[in-house]
Amino acid sequence: MDNTLVDRDHEVVELHPERTEINERLDKFVTVRLADLGLSRGTVQGLIEAGHVLVDGVARRAKFKMTPGEVVTVTLPPPTIDELLPEAIPLSIVFEDADVIVLDKPAGLVVHPAPGHPSGTLVNALLHHAPEINLGGTNRPGIVHRLDKDTSGLMVVAKTDRARTTLAAQWEARSVAKGYVALVHGLVEPDEGTVDAPIGRDPAQRQRMAVTSARGREAVSNFVVRERFKFAAMTLLDVEIETGRTHQIRVHLTFIGHPIVGDTVYGRRDVGAVLNRQFLHAARLGFRLPDGREVAFESPLPADLQATLATLASVEVTRAATG
């Protein structure tokens, strides 16, 4: 993505096909490139049919095949506050009091409404569960931080103004403990390490983030090897982040040559062979409540990630036994 323009009525995104995307269908290309917006392929096809997706300024059909050098322009109508409705979406509540909700977000759930995805989000579920959360003129009521759509794990939501202020201050001071579990490609050699590299918009593909010294913001990630899967050439890591940049863990691990398994944006596209989403889970979260109490929470790996590890462990045992 080379450019994004936003005004009161719409957002316009420019996408540029790469050589690896030659002959890819237009609808699939746009869906993959805008994956973090939570747009379904059906929504993208609707945008194409309505003439909101242009290739070199010309409306094309969904099955149009991509060619490097073309410019794909996508016009995204933004959701409005009026579209925010309570929805009875199940929530896995870990802790709740008058000020905050700590929940375990499943993979696949978008945190807040985005263009083409105004409903079915965590925010819609929160408005049903805790209608006292104040909208405050935003489509992100109570949201202090977020997890990517396909990242599972712990989040804290502010129910009151004092909670929002307290939590925001802790994020700013970097005093929040944030621990993740990630499965990456390759055998990570050091048992532990730190990636200290600034992150900003990728100048070549602006829908992505990248390690960049040009306008990049400080980003620090620490990792410890939990287990190496020799025959699968994968490594399980515990990751603690000191900062909270967009896609920080995904970008940093790709930067050191170990992209997260299942990450089709920053990693490889062989996701179907192992897992149908990225192997990244927010497993630990610690912070201070508005009343001053220190709290810490842990979330076990979801069933799909546990199953992936069990399969890898089985392969290791089998291969080792057969020499």
Active site residues: 148
Both tokens of 72, joined, read: 């794909």
Count of C-beta atoms within a 10 Å radius of residue 168: 13
Q: How many whole angstroms separate alpha carbon 126 and alpha carbon 113?
A: 12
What is the C-alpha separation between 188 and 226, in angstroms, rounded?
A: 10
Q: What is the DSSP string of 36-84?
A: GGT--HHHHHHHHHTT-EEETTEE--TTPBP-TT--EEEEEPPP-GGG-
Beta bridge partners of 103: 93, 155
Shortest CA distance to 19 belongs to which of 75, 90, 68, 76? 68
Tokens of 248: 């920080």
Dihedral angle sign, alpha carbons of residues 95, 305, 194, 192: positive
d(CA 208, CA 36): 10
Task: Work out whether strand 234-241 and strand 220-229 pair parallel, antiparallel, or are unpaired.
Answer: antiparallel
Cα–Cα distances (Å) from 300 to 22, 111, 165, 306, in that order, read: 40, 20, 29, 9
Matching residue, tokens 């569960």: 129
User: Distance (Å, rounded) from C-alpha 291 to C-alpha 145?
Assistant: 20
Which residues neighbour 279 within 8 Å (Cβ) at sequence distance 6 or greater? 182, 183, 184, 260, 261, 262, 305, 308
